[in-house]
A and B are shown apart, each in its own frame.
Chain A
Amino acid sequence: MDTQRDSGDEAKMIASILAGETQLYHELVRPHERSVYLMALSYMKNEADAEDVAQEAFLKAFRALSSFRAESKFGTWLISITLNEARNRLRRKSAAPMQSLDVPPDEEGAVSPALLRDWREVPSEALERSEVKQMIASAVEALPEIYRSVFVLRDVEELSVNETAEALSLSVPAVKVRLHRARMMLQKQLAPQLRTVTATAKRRWFPW
């Protein structure tokens, strides 16, 4: 998310756009392109559909701009439009009933992490390797939907817990519980896989 621009600036831009300076909409949305696309990708799971959903969400937000209420942030409002768009599209796509989106998940039962005796830090440079990137992206994409959306907003897009709750229409405690589970699920899945990365890292990074 863009931290350079505060919501006061956005409110002014929105007022100008509604007053007829529609070209400002290009500038208004630029800082939000990535978060909207990632949200769409986490639902659609392929780049082409995600891009389509993202474009559609930006168009719908423009058409609905006069209904935007300044008490919420433009970014979180956009995310909720994106979410609706993605869900509608998935619903249309499959005749089969999909995982229920509204019923609260089973909040019982903790997720057990992968047990390790030590942990060797995987440095960010490891992400230069496509198989490591892919490993992490796939694990995030494989999370059950209710955990994935919370995780993507909070830990990938780095929204606050409150913003995440607002964008997803969830309570703050629900966000915290889901975030915790998502993190534990990822640790369980990724920690053993990433260990193999560090085990071979030395040889691969320093071939001499």
Chain B
Amino acid sequence: MVIECKHVWNLISGYLDGTLTAEEQEVIQKHLETCEICSAILDSTRNIIVLTADERVFELPAGFSERLHARLAAELGTDGGRGASPP
């Protein structure tokens, strides 16, 4: 079965997640063997997903955790909060 590139593009996400039917998966696999454009689209999409998942892209601001827990402590009445007693 021959399919058009556009049809392949619609299934790229499912292909990457492995959620296509066995038949769809196979048809795409075959298409990719001979279509360099679709292969490049698939590779670049996969590459971009890997990069966006890297923790370095979106980092917590410095001191985020400390400030959060200080605020929680104040609310919860736990250590470090309003009711903290001096040593």
- Does A33 contact B65, Cβ atoms closer than 8 Å? yes
- Does B57 contact A33, Cβ atoms closer than 8 Å? no
Q: Which residue, of B49, B52, B69, B72, has the highest number of chain A Cβ atoms within 10 A?
A: B52
A90 within 8 Å of B by Cβ?
no
Interface size on B, residues (CB 8 A): 44
B2 within 8 Å of A by Cβ?
no
- Does B58 contact A38, Cβ atoms closer than 8 Å? yes
> How far in angstroms is the closest Cβ of chain A from B20?
11
Complex partner residue of B69 from A26, A41, A158, A184, CB under 8 angstroms: A26
- Does B41 contact A33, Cβ atoms closer than 8 Å? no
A87 within 8 Å of B by Cβ?
no
- Could you tell me which residues of chain B, from 36 to 56, have a CB within 8 Å of some CB in chain A? 36-37, 39-41, 43-45, 47-56
Closest to B16 in A: A183
A2 within 8 Å of B by Cβ?
no
A13 within 8 Å of B by Cβ?
no
Closest to B56 in A: A127
Which A residues lie within 8 Å of B39 (CB)? 119
Q: A110-B10, A180-B12 are in contact. Are A119 and B76 (CB under 8 A)?
A: no
Interface size on A, residues (CB 8 A): 52
A79 within 8 Å of B by Cβ?
no
Distance of A133 Cα from B59 Cα, bound (Å) = 10
- Does B71 contact A55, Cβ atoms closer than 8 Å? yes
Distance of A121 Cα from B46 Cα, bound (Å) = 10
| Binary CB contact string for chain B from 55 to 80 against chain A (1 if under 8 A, 0 otherwise) | 11110110011011101110111110
Q: A117-B40, A186-B52 are in contact. Are A136 and B57 (CB under 8 A)?
A: yes
Task: Jot down 23 A-B pairs with beta carbons below 8 A, ordered by A.
Answer: A22-B77, A26-B76, A33-B64, A33-B65, A37-B64, A38-B58, A47-B61, A110-B9, A113-B9, A114-B44, A115-B40, A115-B41, A116-B44, A136-B52, A140-B58, A155-B52, A156-B58, A158-B53, A176-B13, A180-B10, A180-B12, A180-B14, A190-B48
Interface residues of B (CB under 8 A from A): 6, 9-10, 12-14, 16-17, 19, 36-37, 39-41, 43-45, 47-58, 60-61, 64-65, 67-69, 71-73, 75-79
